[in-house]
A and B are shown apart, each in its own frame.
Chain A
Amino acid sequence: MDHPELSDAGARSRAEAAARASYGRLVALLAAPTGDIALAEDALGDAFEAALTTWPGSGVPANPEAWLLTVARNRQRDAWKSAATRTSTPLDAVRELDDGTHGTDEDMIGAIPDKRLALLFVCAHPAIDPGVRTALMLQTVLGFEAAQIATAFAVPAPAMAQRLVRAKRRIRDARIPFTVPDADVMPQRLPAVLEAVYGCFAIGSATTSGAGVGAGAGAGAGTGAGPRAGAGPRAGAGADTGTGVADPDSLAGEALYLAETLAALLPGEPEAAGLAALICLSQARAAGRRNREGAFVPLDEQDPARWDGALIARGEAHLRHASSLGRIGRYQLEAAIQSVHCERRVTGAVDRRAIRTLHEALARIAPTLGALVSLAAVIGELDGPEAGLAALDRIDAAAAERFQPAWATRAHLLAQAGRREDAAAAYDRAIALTTDPAVRSYLADRRG
């Protein structure tokens, strides 16, 4: 309590800093004993409010996180005690807390256990609807409000709020445990967690990367880029990786934070590191995807000087760690493809053969529509447009019918092959399926 003169704004910024750094840690810890995430969020919200009214007068406590935890636990206990007049159950939870990690502020320094990993597994539990897992992570781990998440997912806010409420009620009432799966269950459970984080990245990068402009459009190659983000969440608790997130307005930045958190908490899982590498390496090029006028710039025409060298180095470190574990997977392959593109920053050239080998491996182990279309684009670059078109024709036509990258790739290949009328028709389809205005005008220019 050594800042008695602290201004209101100072307390607010300290509270916000604490929020960014610790929101998910505190929610996970508060919710773990009973599985009641909504109550944990309410209690933590009250604690933040109390901080805003108390800290300007009394000064910021030595350990703000512990202070928030103590206040939130008191609120939780009050809620349980009033509930206990109706049912006897929650008293067990009160007892469990009283003999647990509960202590004074000073005792708590550095002692707050990190249960975020368990929380991530809860969010992506098989008993939770896959469509709500990413949103749940954004809310419970990062503190975004339902309305912000709804904007990112392009769904009405009340619908998103209801989905989140239902999922949290299910977690509490079905008693989904806050535990990290044992080694024998891990291979079944981890992919869903990675996929939910990847989903966050795909939505976020849809606004900035123009995923699927065709040949080597970059990240998002593995999925049909998800629903488009209107504007990324901004207020509230954001990501804090300690080294600065590339684009705070982008959900991709939040995905980066989630992926790096996951990789740090699961150091023995190569695909967790692979996903972190993929998002680092892709996000590193975010600034290069637009020129000074805001127009879309395709990967091969980007100025590598505008890429983020520090983030590339971080991605490479994740990828090296993943490789050292000796189990290849789709995220590592996608990251390796990004890594080859990033090498242009040093070598000035792109190793197309390496790209092709990696795309072929990716199409073998994870033959998603995105992976197959990307492979066709690479074949087109190396073996000529007709070979690329033949590869595209081998992809299931029905599935590709509404897939923007398939049409954009086809349009580029037809144009290269000199088939102007067919190319124009394919460009029209691609433009119709594109929501990003910058990518649309880029495609319109190419169409001529």
Chain B
Amino acid sequence: MRYALLLNYPEAGDVGLSDDDLAAGRAAFDEYLKALNAAGVFVSTEILQPVAVSTTVTTRDGELLIQDGPFADTKEKLGGVFVIEVPDLDQALSWAERCPASQYGVVEVRPVAVTARGGEWITPS
């Protein structure tokens, strides 16, 4: 079963993290990635840049609208995604608990519905 761990947390700039804080954070994530790999459950990850450099695009009102800034202006922002392959929700939950972001944010665990590999749609088991 494939799960996406959606990492939501206040951005570093908003809470005023120092370079040392950031280095410690990176080290924690590095350790987490190694643990996921060692367990054979890691699929992929994307860690996102701050919402300050985000741009939104929509044509839902019939014409193209391009705007700066994130879609939802919340205190905690989507900061990254880990995709893992584990047998069940309990294991996904325990990997979410181990994720460094759970210590200062909220990790949302969502089952993956469909994925694509080599340009083909796949329904993961």
Contact = CB atoms under 8 A, between A and B. Distances in A.
A88 B125 CA distance: 9
A179 B111 contact: no
Nearest to B86: A175
Contacts, number: 28
28 contacts: A87-B123, A88-B123, A89-B123, A89-B125, A92-B125, A125-B89, A126-B93, A127-B89, A127-B93, A173-B111, A174-B89, A174-B109, A174-B111, A175-B1, A175-B87, A175-B88, A175-B89, A175-B111, A176-B88, A176-B89, A176-B90, A177-B87, A177-B88, A177-B89, A177-B90, A177-B91, A179-B88, A179-B90
Interface string A65-109: 000000000000000000000011100100000000000000000
A30 B111 CA distance: 23
A129 to B, nearest CB: 15
Contacts of B1: 175
A127 B88 CA distance: 12
Contacts of B89: 125, 127, 174-177
Nearest to A182: B90
Contacts of B91: 177
Given A89-B125, A175-B88, 10 more contacts: A88-B123, A174-B111, A175-B89, A175-B111, A176-B89, A177-B88, A177-B89, A177-B90, A179-B88, A179-B90
Identify the interface centre among A175, A176, A179: most chain B CB within 10 Å of its CB.
A175
Contacts of A87: 123
B6 to A, nearest CB: 14
Interface of A: 87-89, 92, 125-127, 173-177, 179
Contacts of B90: 176-177, 179
A254 to B, nearest CB: 28
Contacts of A179: 88, 90
A390 B125 CA distance: 62
Nearest to A171: B89
A261 B90 CA distance: 24
A92 B68 CA distance: 47
Contacts of A177: 87-91
Most chain A beta-carbon contacts within 10 A, residue among B1, B89, B109: B89
The interface centre, meaning the residue of B88, B91, B111 with most chain A CB atoms within 10 A of its CB, is B88
Nearest to B113: A173
Contacts of A89: 123, 125
A179 B91 CA distance: 12
